[in-house]
Amino acid sequence: MMTTAKICGLSTPATLDAAIRHGASHVGFVFFPASPRHVTFAKAAELAARVPGHVAKVGVFVDPEDEMLEQAVESAALDVLQLHKVTPARAAAIRAKFGIETWVAVAVRTRGDLDAAYGFAGIADRILYDAKTPDSAALPGGMGLRFDWDLLDGFKHPLPWALSGGLDPANVAEAIRRTGAALIDVSSGVESAPGTKDETKIAAFLKAVATR
């Protein structure tokens, strides 16, 4: 089975181009001002114009208001909405309003955390399993944290899913072999500093995904 990869938190033309050139299936733009990866609507529009049709544009949001979603969808012509910290009811309302493929992040630290995915069956198009950040953290992801992949053993996924959290060029092949993930999501693992993507690391990560 082929595994594809999303490079998330892109904010410059050079790193976006690198992600596309080396085979990313999805590119992610973060619309969350507290994040070092946040992009303005104008910057998102500039970047989105560089993305070819075969690569999906993902907007990443944390408990967003409709106004932010509207502006982001319009500016970046988004193909996917990735939602963090939303309830099933809110996710359903967003998907109904915008009619765009919708992913919901489920934060994982224990086996019991996975059960939250069942609440989004029939609502979301995909679940993104990400490492749960500390309660005091300002960000819901992008901190390089990894959860125990063994927690996924035998879990009956209610929806198509993606793996995120603490992935990098050195461990992504193992992650795919261990979990069978069909889609991999990376942000901090291909950075030289928080919010600063590294073209060499992007290339190495995507090569590891393709050749694992």
pLDDT in tens, the chain (212 residues): 789 999 999 999 999 999 999 999 999 999 999 999 999 999 999 999 999 999 999 999 999 999 999 999 999 999 999 999 999 999 999 999 999 999 999 999 999 999 999 999 999 999 999 998 766 555 555 556 789 999 999 999 999 999 999 999 999 999 999 999 999 999 999 999 999 999 999 999 999 999 98
Q: What is the pTM of this model?
A: 0.94
Residue with tokens 């299936």, as numbered in its chain = 25
Contacts of 26 (CB under 8 A, 6+ apart): 4, 5, 6, 7, 55, 56, 57, 58, 80, 183, 185
Catalytic residue list: 8, 130
